[in-house]
């Protein structure tokens, strides 16, 4: 601020409160804009207060910003960790699902093969039984006496049937009959 000077004419009685005697008709120059020591220290005090408050606000702002950075970093890490865990869980679930499907398919295949084997065994047993019946029908021819329906229940026909059956079983076991 530029100082402004202007002449002031003082009486000898008006010494500006300084308690000095001045000569009559003296001209004194008073400089406007200059502050007294009291107002200057008062102003410096308020400047100090304001600058201190601004510094405190700035420090708290920086601390808060740093805290937010730490929180954001922590959240980002947690999100990445969570995403990684979720991805691993998804992979594990997918692998488990595939393993279960594989095991289910293997069990189904094994069960199908077992059923096919059982069906083949049953079919072979039926075929064997049918072959045996056909071979028996070719092997056993009852005598004329036992061929009559009236005589089939006699002891002679029962013994004839039993002897033929015994002979058939022996030959069948030996593989002599087709």
Statement to judge: residues 159 and 110 lie in one domain: no
Statement to judge: residues 70 and 87 lie in one domain: yes
> Which range of residues forms the domain containing residue 127?
47-139
Statement to judge: residues 52 and 135 lie in one domain: yes
Is 42 inside any structural domain? no
Statement to judge: residues 53 and 94 lie in one domain: yes
Statement to judge: residues 157 and 119 lie in one domain: no
> Averaged over 120-145, what is the pLDDT?
89
Is 62 inside any structural domain? yes
pLDDT in tens, 3-60: 666 655 555 555 555 555 555 555 555 555 555 566 788 888 889 999 999 999 999 9
Is 163 inside any structural domain? yes
State how far the Cα of 171 lies from the Cα of 109, in Å rounded to an integer. 41
Is 101 inside any structural domain? yes
Structural domain count of the chain: 3
State how far the Cα of 156 lies from the Cα of 139, in Å rounded to an integer. 19
Statement to judge: residues 113 and 152 lie in one domain: no
Rg (CA), the chain: 63
State how far the Cα of 66 lies from the Cα of 56, in Å rounded to an integer. 15
Statement to judge: residues 132 and 54 lie in one domain: yes
State how far the Cα of 150 lies from the Cα of 128, in Å rounded to an integer. 32
- What pLDDT shows up at residue 76? 92
| Whether the model pTM is above 0.75 | no
Helix 37-139 with 155-174: angle, nearest 10 deg: 120
Is 95 inside any structural domain? yes
Is 74 inside any structural domain? yes
The closest alpha carbon to 169, from 132, 134, 131, belongs to 132
Statement to judge: residues 110 and 153 lie in one domain: no
Statement to judge: residues 58 and 91 lie in one domain: yes
Where residue 135 falls among pLDDT bands split at 50, 70, 90? Answer: confident
Statement to judge: residues 104 and 171 lie in one domain: no
Cβ atoms of 135 and 170 within 8 Å: the answer is no
Statement to judge: residues 156 and 131 lie in one domain: no
């Amino acid at each position: 601020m530029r100082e402004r000077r202007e002449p002031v004419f003082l009486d000898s009685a008006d010494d500006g409160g300084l308690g000095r005697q001045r000569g009559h008709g003296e001209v004194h120059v008073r400089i406007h804009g200059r502050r007294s020591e009291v107002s200057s220290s008062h102003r410096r005090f308020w400047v100090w207060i304001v600058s201190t408050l601004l510094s405190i606000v700035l420090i708290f702002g920086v601390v808060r910003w740093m805290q937010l950075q730490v929180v954001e970093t922590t959240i980002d890490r947690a999100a990445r960790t969570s995403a990684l865990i979720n991805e691993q869980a998804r992979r594990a679930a997918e692998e488990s699902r595939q393993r279960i499907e594989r095991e289910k398919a293997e069990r189904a295949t094994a069960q199908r093969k077992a059923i096919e084997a059982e069906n083949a065994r049953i079919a072979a047993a039926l075929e064997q039984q049918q072959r045996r019946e056909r071979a028996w029908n070719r092997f056993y021819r009852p005598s004329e006496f036992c061929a009559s329906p009236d005589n089939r229940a006699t002891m002679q026909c029962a013994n004839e049937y039993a002897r033929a059956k015994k002979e058939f079983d022996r030959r069948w076991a030996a593989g002599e009959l087709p």
